[in-house]
Homo-oligomer: A and B are copies of this chain.
Amino acid sequence: MEFTDVRSEDGVTRRSFTLSVAGEDVPAVIWAPEGASGPRPLVLMGHGGSQHKKTPGIRARAVQYAQRLGYATLAIDAPGHGDRISRQEAATLMREVGARVRGEAPAGFTPERMRQMGERSRLAIPEWKAALDAAQGFDFVGSGGPIGYWGVSMGTAIGVPFVASEPRITCAVFGLAGLREGATDMAQAAAKIAIPVEFVFQWEDAVAPREAGVALFNAFASAQKTMHINPGGHMDIPDFEGASWERFFVRHLGAAVTAKQAVAAE
């Protein structure tokens, strides 16, 4: 795998690369402690609708996980997102998703469009698997370390079927999504997930109604699963949930090393 861009800042190195999956170019990025080598925990982060692989929330946590825990973090652009669409398409998508999050029904979200988005989400699964294969080929990740998944909203819509089909992933953070009546694919995928899950949900979310959120939480087969409910809308997850995700990963991905230790251990 050839890196198209490598930058180091504040003790963290970010490498960009492009996967080829079923004829599609899939842009990917991985963060790790600067100078790290050898196996380490890996977190896969799936961005939300209209966002992209280096969206601020993902970037900030990837850097912190590398600095504080010595983790590697992998992200890819979902189908129809990020560098896979033009700037103009991205701006239109952002307006449409913004309207949906505010509870407005934007003209763009026709039933046909929603069906297409569902189709596209399915494409993401082999892309995630290819990205994970590639990451495990890097000497600073390896195939021995534990792997977690994080993704809310579209990151859950894609992540639930992906994680259900991916035995390498041993814990997952989902949220901001629900199980609507008749969504049998999603229900079946959730029922296959038995790893520890932390599920974050907003109680006044215009995108995911309460009943649908509780139904998705109930659908996970995991013996260890927690649902965190907070007031407010789709974009209002409190900061302390970010701290909770980090502790969740520390609990399940094994002993953490600091970036300094990761470098010193070379």
Contact = CB atoms under 8 A, between A and B. Distances in A.
Contact of A231 (B225, B230, B238, B244): B225
A22 B173 CA distance: 51
B230 A240 contact: no
A228 B225 contact: no
B217 A225 contact: no
A226 interface: yes
A227 B203 CA distance: 10
Task: Quickly give the copy total for this chain.
Answer: 2
Contact of A228 (B226, B247, B251): B226
A247 B228 CA distance: 15
Contacts of A225: 230-231
Interface string A141-172: 00000000000000000000000000000000
A238 B247 CA distance: 14
B228 A228 contact: yes
A183 interface: no
Interface string A223-243: 111111111000000101001
Interface string A190-232: 0000000000000000000000000001000001111111110
A222 to B, nearest CB: 8
Contacts of A229: 217, 226-227, 229
B223 A231 contact: yes
Contacts of A228: 226-228
A228 B201 CA distance: 10
A224 B251 CA distance: 26
A247 B251 contact: no
A177 to B, nearest CB: 16
20 contacts: A217-B229, A223-B231, A224-B231, A224-B238, A225-B230, A225-B231, A226-B228, A226-B229, A226-B230, A226-B238, A226-B240, A227-B227, A227-B228, A227-B229, A228-B228, A229-B229, A240-B247, A240-B251, A243-B247, A244-B244
